Amino acid sequence: MGTRVLILGGGFGGYYAARQLERHAPADTQITLINNTNYLTYAPLLPGAAAGTLDPRHVVVPLREHFKRTALRVGWVTDGDPKEQVIHVDMMSGRQATFGYDQLIVALGSVARTFPVPGLVEHGVGFKTIEEATKLRNRIIHNLELAEGLDDPFERRAFLSYAFVGGGYAGLEGMAELADFAHAALKHYPRCQQAGLKFTLIDIAPRIMPEIQEPLADFTMNILGKRGIDFRLETSVKEVRDDAVVLSTDEVLPCRTLVWTAGVKASPVGSQLGLECDRGRIVVDSTLRAKGFDNVWALGDVAAVPDPAKPGLPCPPTAQHAIRQGTLLGKNVIEVLKGGQPKPFTFKTLGSFADLGHHQAVANLMGVKVKGFLAWVIARSYHLAWMPGLDRKARLVADWVVQFLFPRDLAEMNRIGHTPALDQPALPAAPPKAQLQASPAPPPVPGNARGLEDRPAADGASGSDTGSGSGEAQPSGSDTESR
């Protein structure tokens, strides 16, 4: 019987580790990957999926189509015992299973980082999974349709207002793309045009995107400001209501949709595996080997991998790091199986970028500032190069071409996959009247004339290795970490 290699998580880190093992591991090596979906999400393209410029199916990579030797099992990792060399998993069938291993690779990724803000979990929407991106697109259309039928201007305004919390790449890219989509759709809703759309970005930091040079951040604010997007910097969220967001300044923003993009943290399942953790991230050495165990490895957002660029600090939770770590870890496991020595992780961040829509972007490429159309071309080219599979690349190109030639589709697809019983009407009943009642207008403020719990992301066994984006030019993810 050959060596059993068990991989937890099918994000970028787990995927590239598995591909490396498939290519070069001894023929009798048994490779198993556990993930809570059968696909990898290319997270940097989620804004495009949310804005309707990309088909949601084209920003995910079906794992089974790319694996030749790896056995994929869909389930949720619950805990493990490294001394007994076992991992416990809740399978999608509902039963519990135990997986043994000789070599373990932990690539569980990250989950949304939340704070104890009243109403946040109940009313906030994340922006880390394909499900959340699709939900936001449908909500914009739904709100436009709903607001078009309302007579009360104040009530209509709340349905046409959106707040994004987090001034990093995820918040800025998501807001820019969704604002473009909403404004393009607005011309079909004459009554909504009277009220107009309102997008607000909220961040506690003094400026947006602290990972890049200040001139690029200023350029971004100028570009988005001209599109009507408001910024509330050095401001936090005090409370989230069904129809409003209360800020730390006591300003009340009428708003029916709050998008939470205020960073990520390591999957909490990582701390249930019997391994030493530091602030929730598994402690590993420079070869990605977990402390205290010769046959356990960890990488990506769930691991505190020493950063070669910043001694004493862990690598930021970005896809560019997860990809390189996955490739190296696969090689290191193979070396160990052959009796060799693993090599240290030496990759240093090459840069980052943010796509701002309208053929505009900003990029920091190894200290070189790039902005405007050239940065946008670099961003698109980069995504095309790193998207796995020729078929996926072709689908991206096709979607981008269609985007240039035709307007975006305004069909609301909220009910796909939720079919009624055979004896029920095809259309849902009207929402309760109380849900649509307008709240009283907020009092003037001096100086001013669901859940988001630690739920698993969609492309890891209990999280995601997509981290904050996709490689050298990271566009989406953590709002506090370098991309």
Degrees to nearest 5, angle at CA 122 with 118 and 123: 95
The encoded tokens of residue 334 equal 């193979």
Q: Rounded to whole angstroms, how far apart are CA atoms 232 and 225?
A: 12
Q: Are 309 and 348 in contact (CB under 8 A)?
A: yes
Q: DSSP of 40-64, one letter per residue?
A: EE-GGGHHHHHTTSS-GGGGEEEHH
Q: DSSP of 223-260, one letter per residue?
A: HHHHTTEEEEES--EEEE-SSEEEETTS-EEE-SEEEE
The encoded tokens of residue 428 equal 């849902």
Q: Are 463 and 110 in contact (CB under 8 A)?
A: yes
Q: Rounded to whole angstroms, how far apart are CA atoms 283 and 146?
A: 50
Distances (CA, A) of 230 to 13, 156, 197, 199: 36, 19, 11, 6
Tell me the sheet residues that pair with 371. Answer: 362
Nearest to 79 by CA among 461, 334, 476, 392: 461
Q: Are 101 and 60 in contact (CB under 8 A)?
A: no
Task: Give the pLDDT of residue 152.
Answer: 87
Task: Give the pLDDT of residue 442.
Answer: 42
Convert 136-164 to b/e letters by CB count within 10 Å (16 or more is b).
bbbbbbbbbebbbebeeeebbbbbbbbbb
The encoded tokens of residue 142 equal 């739904």
Convert 453-470 to b/e letters by CB count within 10 Å (16 or more is b).
ebbbbbbbbbbbbbbbbb
The encoded tokens of residue 404 equal 């240039």
Burial (Cβ within 10 Å: 0-12, 13-18, ≥19) of residue 302? buried
Q: Are 330 and 337 in contact (CB under 8 A)?
A: no
Regions of the chain with pLDDT less than 70 = 415-420, 424-483
Distances (CA, A) of 161 to 125, 182, 229, 331: 14, 10, 11, 49
* Side-chain-facing half-sphere of 106: CA atoms under 13 Å: 41
- Residue 372, Cβ neighbours under 10 Å: how many? 15
Q: DSSP of 290-323, one letter per residue?
A: BTT-SSEEE-GGGEE-B-TTSTTSBPPSBHHHHH
CB under 8 A, 24+ apart: contacts of 93-100: 97/73, 99/6, 99/32, 99/34, 99/73, 100/4, 100/6
Task: Give the pLDDT of residue 33.
Answer: 98
Distances (CA, A) of 256 to 135, 140, 161, 167: 14, 10, 7, 20
Task: Give the pLDDT of residue 418.
Answer: 63
Tell me the sheet residues that pair with 369. Answer: 364
Q: Are 111 and 267 in contact (CB under 8 A)?
A: yes
Task: Give the pLDDT of residue 457.
Answer: 43
Q: Rounded to whole angstroms, how far apart are CA atoms 256 and 162?
A: 7
Which residue's entry shows tokens 């698109």? 380
The pTM of the full predicted model, rounded to 2 decimals, is 0.85
Nearest to 87 by CA among 276, 265, 296: 296
Q: Are 204 and 231 in contact (CB under 8 A)?
A: no
- 3-state secondary structure (DSSP) of residue 32: strand
Task: Give the pLDDT of residue 160.
Answer: 96
Task: Give the pLDDT of residue 406.
Answer: 86
